[in-house]
Structure 1
Amino acid sequence: MTFVPAPGYMPSYHPPLPYVAPVPGGLRPGMAVYVQGVVNPQAEWFRVNLAAGPDDSGDLPLHLNPRFGAGVAVLNSRRRGRWGDEQRQELHPLCPGGPFEIVINVTPEGYKVLVNGTFYTEFPHRLPPEQVTSVSVDGDLQLHSASVMGGAGMCPPCVPDAPQTTPIYPDCNLPVMQQPPTFHPPVPFVTTIPGGLFPKKTIVIKGFIPHEAGRFHINLRAGPGGDVVLHLNPPQWTRGGAVVRNSFLGGSWGPEERDLSCCNPFQRGRYFDLSIRCGNHRFKVFAEGQPLFDFHHRVPAGPHVDVLEIEGDVVLSFVHF
C-alpha cells in the first residue's frame, strides 16, 4: 500500500538538506508553505527560500533567514541579483535546540508568517507569488516535514508553463483537496466535510502531543451526533499506549482493532502527521506517508459521513481535506 498525496497537498518527510521542492504553477493567495523541524542545539542559521527558479541562484520573492549568532531573523527579497531592504524580526519563539513549525500563508498583499501557532510577521509582495517555482530549506536544523498546500492541485504536466519534472501526482484520479487548510484550530474541533467521504477522499491532520497528554480521539461521524464510522483513539499512556480503532453504530461499540503496520507515531512531546483516505471498502491510514493501518468499513461510507471531530489532549497544527 503506497501513499500517494492528493492533489493540492505536496508533503515531504525527513528529507535530506538542502531540501528543494518544485511548486508547479506557482503560489497564489490561499496557498501555504509549511515547514516543521528542530533547530540544532549549536545553530548559527537556517533559511527558507521561496525561489523564482529551480534553485536559490535566481530571484527570491521571499528569503526567511533566522540568524542565531546575531539574534535576529532577516526577511528579504532578491531581484536580478540585487537584494532589497531587510526586514528584521526578533528570533523568539525560534531558539537553538527547540522544535518549531513555520507557516507561510500567501495573501493578496504578501506573506503572513506564523511560528509555533502564533503570528510572527508579514512581508509584502515585491515579486508576484506566481513566479515562485520552488521552495528550499537549508541550514542548522533537522527538517521533519515540509508541505505546499492549496492551489489547483493539477499534475505538473497539466499545469501551463510548469517545468518538466517527474510528476508529483502520479495518480491524477485522486480528488483535489479543494478546501484551504485550517491552521491551528482550537480543540475540541468539529467541522463539516463538504460532500462527505467518498472513495479516494483524503483528510490530513497534523498536530503536536503535549508532554503531559492523557488521551485524545478522532471521530468520523454520519452527521452531527450520528453514528461513528471510524473512531481513532491514539495512545492512552496510562493504559499501555495502544492505538485503538472502533465504530459506534446503532448505539453500540463494535470490536476494537489495535494492530499497526509500523511503529506507533503518537508520542508525547512530538508532532504527528496523519492521512486518512477513504477507499471503496476500507479506510487507509498513513503516518508521515507510511502505512499505519486499514479499517474496513462496517457500514458503507458516502456523503452522509460528513463530520470530523477531534477532542482531547492535542494541539492541532492544521486540518486539510
Structure 2
Amino acid sequence: MDGDHTLNDSPENPGLISPDKEDLSRLLTVPFSGRIRGGMRPGKKIIVMGIIDLEPNSFDVSLTCGRDSEKDDPPFDVALELTASFSNRQFLRRARISGKWTDEEASTTYFPFIPDQPFRIEIHCEHQRFRIFVDGHQLFDFYHKVNSLPSIDTVRIQGDLQITKLG
C-alpha cells in the first residue's frame, strides 16, 4: 500500500478506510498521502485532526490532482496548499497550476496553532471556493484555481505534526 490510503465520506464509514486492516497509527504517519474517493465537489469537506509537534517549524496540508511519484516533486496540480509557519506565525495558502505556483496569500492576524496542542482543520468545498475552518473558527476563503473539482483526488500532509484522525 506504500503510504497511500483512501478517504471515504460515506455515512457508514466517515473516516479513513484501508482495504487491509493495518494498524491505524501506521496509516496516519507523516508524510501522509491519501485518496479522496470521487474527488472534491461542492458540499464535500475534508477534516484533519492532529497534534502539533513540541518544537514545530511548519506543516502543510495539500489537496492535489493525482498521485504521481515522489521523484517529480510535485508534477501534479495543487488545488490548495495550506502552510502553517511557526517562525512568523502565518497560515499561508497557494495553488500550483500547470507547474506554476500562485502567489502566497497571507493569513489573518489570528494564528490558531499552538505547539504540543491538538487542532482540527476543516476544508469545506463550495462551488467557487474552499472555506477553511480551524477549531470551529472560519479563517478564510480560497477561490478555486483548479476548475475540475473531481480531479482534486488526493490529500497530502507533511511537516511537524501527528495526525490523529482524517475524514
Give the TM-score category using the shorter length.
0.7 to 0.9
- Classify the secondary structure of the residue corresponding to 1:234: strand
What is the CA-CA distance between 1:176 and the residue it aligns to?
5.3
Report which of the two structures shows the higher radius of gyration computed on alpha carbons: 1
Identity, % of aligned pairs? 31
Residue aligning to 2:78: 228
Residue aligning to 1:254: 102
Q: Distance in 2 between matches of 1:178 and 1:293?
A: 30
Q: Distance in 1 between matches of 2:34 and 2:99?
A: 22
Task: Find 1:270's aligned residue among 110, 117, 121.
Answer: 117
Taking a change above 3 Å as real, the CA distance of residues 303 and 177 of structure 1, as seen in their structure-2 partners, is farther
TM-score (norm 2): 0.79
Task: Find 1:195's aligned residue among 35, 38, 50.
Answer: 38
Alignment of 1:143-162 (within 5 A): none
RMSD: 2.0
Q: Distance in 2 between matches of 1:293 and 1:177?
A: 27
Alignment of 1:70-149 (within 5 A): none
Deviations 1:177-206 (A, max 9, x none): 554423541111101100000001011110
What is the CA-CA distance between 1:294 and the residue it aligns to?
0.4
- Classify the secondary structure of the residue corresponding to 1:195: coil
Residue aligning to 1:318: 165
Q: Distance in 2 between matches of 1:302 and 1:178?
A: 24
Greater relative contact order (Cα 8 A, min sep 6): structure 1 or 2?
2
TM-score (norm 1): 0.42
Residue aligning to 1:181: 15
Structure 1 regions of 5+ residues with no counterpart? Answer: 1-149, 151-174
Aligned partner of 1:217: which letter? Answer: D
Residue aligning to 2:19: none
- Classify the secondary structure of the residue corresponding to 1:303: helix
Aligned partner of 2:115: which letter? Answer: R
Structure 2 regions of 5+ residues with no counterpart? Answer: 1-7, 17-23, 69-75
Q: Distance in 2 between matches of 1:303 and 1:178?
A: 22
